[in-house]
Structures are given as C-alpha cells and as structure tokens.
Structure 1
Amino acid sequence: MTLSRRTFAGLGAAALSAAAFGAAVRPALSQESGGSPDKLLMPGPLGEHVLGEASAPVTIVEYASLTCGHCANFHEHTFPELKKRYIDTGKVRFIFREFPLDQPQGVPLATAGFALANCAPEGTYFDVVGLLFEKLDVWAASPNPANALFDLVKQVGFTQESFRECLTNQEVLDGVTAVRNRAHTEFGVSSTPTFFINGKMVRGAMSIDEMAELIDPLLKS
C-alpha cells in the first residue's frame, strides 16, 4: 500500500469512524496466555522500540494503534506513572509495537502515523508517538489529515520533502504492516491496546493501579 499527500487530500471526518469509535467505550480488561515468550521477544523488520533496561525483571510489550482512543488515554494518564515508577527505576523493560487499526477501504491514518514515527530523527520515535496520541483529536478528525499530520511532525524535524518521502516509502509501510500481521497471526492480538506482561496477554487499557497489581508480584518472585 502506497501513501501520498494526495491520498489524504479528499478525506472527510466521516471517514474517520475508527478514531471516533476508539474513544467511545473502554473495553473490559481480560487476561490470556500469550504464547511463547521467546518468540514474542523477537524483533520485527523495523527493529524494536524499547524503553528501560535489558536486565529488567519484567518485560511489557504493548500493541497499540495511533487512532485508538483507549491507547491515547493510556499513554496520557497511565504511561507517565508507569515510566516513573517502573521503567526509569530498572524494574520494567517496555517494548512498543505497531498495530494500526485502519478501515479496509479507508485512508490508513494509523499506518501513516507509525511510518512517520519510524522515519523520524533517531531517538525521537516515542516523541512522535506521544505527540500523535496527545493530538489525536486534532489530526485524526481533521478534514485534511495530511496537513494536520505535517503540522505536528515538523516539530521534530520533518520537512515537506521528508514527510512525502516517508509516506511513500514502501519498505517502512510494509514493515509496519508486517508487525501488525505477525501480532495477529502468531500472538492472537485483535484489539488495542493489548499488553504482554512477561508473556501473559492482557487486553484493554489499564490504570496504574491495575498495572501494579500485575507487575508487583513478578518483582517479588
């Protein structure tokens, strides 16, 4: 799938039902077996996006979509405390992976956002992801999401040329899609956010207290 600014140009807000739906109802929290931990920790074609120490006793893998309101809410309200309490203290290694939820016949907004995060200057992947989550209502609901996206990512160094090149970089776009497809076929991911905490699947956004209930026993074992 090739993206371009022209692909975005005629898009209206009505075509963005995925973003609107994502903010409507918080999914019920559920826990399941997540398959082989070793297989889960194998990186995808675009490399791994990691925060925290490799030696941390707990590893959390999150699959998220940039057009998912629950994911945005998690990263705005829960993630800062998770980072402060567990990641920055060496207790948790956090791996973030792309699971874009785009309409089959619609413009792949989440895929485009993830492509831009992967094309961003070195060390700014999480800055771009955080910015797009924070401004989800701005760019995903815009009548011209291409312009809205560019206005945001130029803050981290994108030019018109690098923006256009990224959104037509088939290797990057295919890499994002491959991460999503592998998550679905090999690990059973079907919704966002989905977490794997030391290999155990947990579906649905969590508060910091809910995460602590799952993390703290692993730190004592």
Structure 2
Amino acid sequence: MATFRYASMSRRAALTAAALAAMATVAGCTAKTGGDAKGDMALGAGADAKITVVEYASVTCGHCAVWNEEVWPEFKTKYVDTKKVRFVFREFPTPPQDIAAAGFLIARCAGEDKYFDVVHDIMASQKEWAAGVAPRTTLFRAAAAAGLSQEQTEVCIRDKAAIEEMSDRIEAGIDAGVTGTPTFLVNGTKVVDSSLSGLSQAIDAELAKK
C-alpha cells in the first residue's frame, strides 16, 4: 500500500496546492464544462444497493495499478457486472500528487461514462513512466482517447471549482482515516486483505445477512 500524509497544519492548503501544481506540470485540463466533479463515481448497483464497496486509490499508486490489472477484471465480473455491489471509486492522490491530481481532473472532465476508462488508462501508463516516458505525454494521450482536445485538456486542470471539490473529497477520506492506497471499505468497514478472496469474504458475509 502506498502511503501519503498531508501537512497537518493546513490540509486544505496542501491539497489545493497539489492540485494547482498540476497546471505547471501538465501545462497543459477546462473540461467541456469542467466535468461533473460532484459526488461519487460508481459502477454496478444503484445507490440503494445492499453492499457498497469503496476504493480509495491514486492513479500514481503502483499498488493500485497492480490491483487494477490483476484483481479488478475478476472482481468486476463477479460483483459489479452482476450488480451485487455498488462499487465507488474515490480519489486519494499520492506522490507525485500533481500528476495524480491532473489525472483525476482529466477523468472528471471526460465525463461519467468515460471516467473509469481514463483512470484505468492512466494507471496502466505507470509502466511507461518507469521506462522513461513523461507522465504528461500519457495524460494527454488518455485525454485524447476520451475525446478531449488539447485545449480542453489544458483548461481542465485549471478548473478551480473542480479542484476545490476534489479537495473536499480527499479531505473527507483523510477524516475517514484513510492514510494509504488502495484502501477498501465494504459497507463502511475497512478490509485489510484486498485480494479477491479477501474482498469476497467480506462481501459475501454482507450478502448473507438478511
């Protein structure tokens, strides 16, 4: 699990600064309209689902990328596609947090229907970063694949309202006790074992309840 602790004296300032730093790093996301930056991004069952699985993750987190590649496909098939659970993804940027913030802003700008595709695309790009490809290059590529022009992408990360809303979500995660990524909650209870078997044990126990 990747860990990241924000300065305790001013969490809001640190969070906002991290997001704003994305402007200089990517220089290059207004979304078409800034994107729908309010609320959770979710897949599977609706808001009235019996089981809600929340993942706090970062597009720059190596452990998150591994989980996304190795566990997510089967987890999605078993629980999300069957609508047995509501799967909620919550942003929790980890170093380099400017890249993570930019990635999440781009995903929001792409729209709800493409949000997860962009997140997964950026996570998969970590292998390219390790090979020397600049993150900025892969962020713009992910944006283009989602239908955002370069101009839209450059404006996207300057959307101060979206940055503020993301800061609120991150701070809520901190208040909930999240200190690293990925962190999984099943109906509000943290699950230490994030393997498919570990998550299945927690989910199936909830499903068995009347």
With normalisation by structure 1, the TM-score equals 0.74
Q: Which residue number in structure 2 is paired with residue 18 of structure 1?
A: none
Q: CA distance change for structure 1 residues 175 and 209 in 2, over 3 Å: closer, same or farther?
A: same
* 1:142-190, Cα deviation, whole Å (9 max, x unpaired): 56322331023211111110010001111112222221111102x1111
One-letter code aligned to 1:170: K
| Regions of 4+ moved over 6 Å | none
Which secondary structure state, in structure 1, belongs to the residue aligned with residue 181 of structure 2?
coil
Match status 1:52 vs 2:52: no
Residue 68 of structure 1 contacts residue 192 of structure 1 at CA under 8 Å; is this kept in 2?
yes
One-letter code aligned to 1:154: A
In structure 1, the gaps of 5 or more residues are 10-44
Taking only the aligned residue pairs, the percentage that are identical comes to 39
Which stretch of the first structure deviates more once superposed, 130-139 or 69-78?
Answer: 130-139
Which one of the candidate residues 70, 73, 78 is aligned to 1:80?
A: 73
CA distance in 2, matches of 1:144, 1:5: 15
Residue 56 of structure 2 contacts residue 91 of structure 2 at CA under 8 Å; is this kept in 1?
yes
Q: Which residue number in structure 1 is paired with residue 100 of structure 2?
A: 110
Residue 193 of structure 1 contacts residue 203 of structure 1 at CA under 8 Å; is this kept in 2?
no
Which secondary structure state, in structure 2, belongs to the residue aligned with residue 181 of structure 1?
helix
* Equivalence map 1:3-152=2 (5 Å): 3=21, 6-8=24-26, 46-54=38-46, 55-102=48-95, 108-139=98-129, 142=132, 144-152=134-142
* Equivalence map 1:184-199=2 (5 Å): 184-185=174-175, 187-199=176-188
Which one of the candidate residues 148, 170, 175 is aligned to 1:158?
A: 148
With normalisation by structure 2, the TM-score equals 0.78
* 1:55-100, Cα deviation, whole Å (9 max, x unpaired): 4321101110111111111111111111111112121111110001
In structure 2, the gaps of 5 or more residues are 1-16, 28-36
Q: CA distance change for structure 1 residues 68 and 208 in 2, over 3 Å: closer, same or farther?
A: same
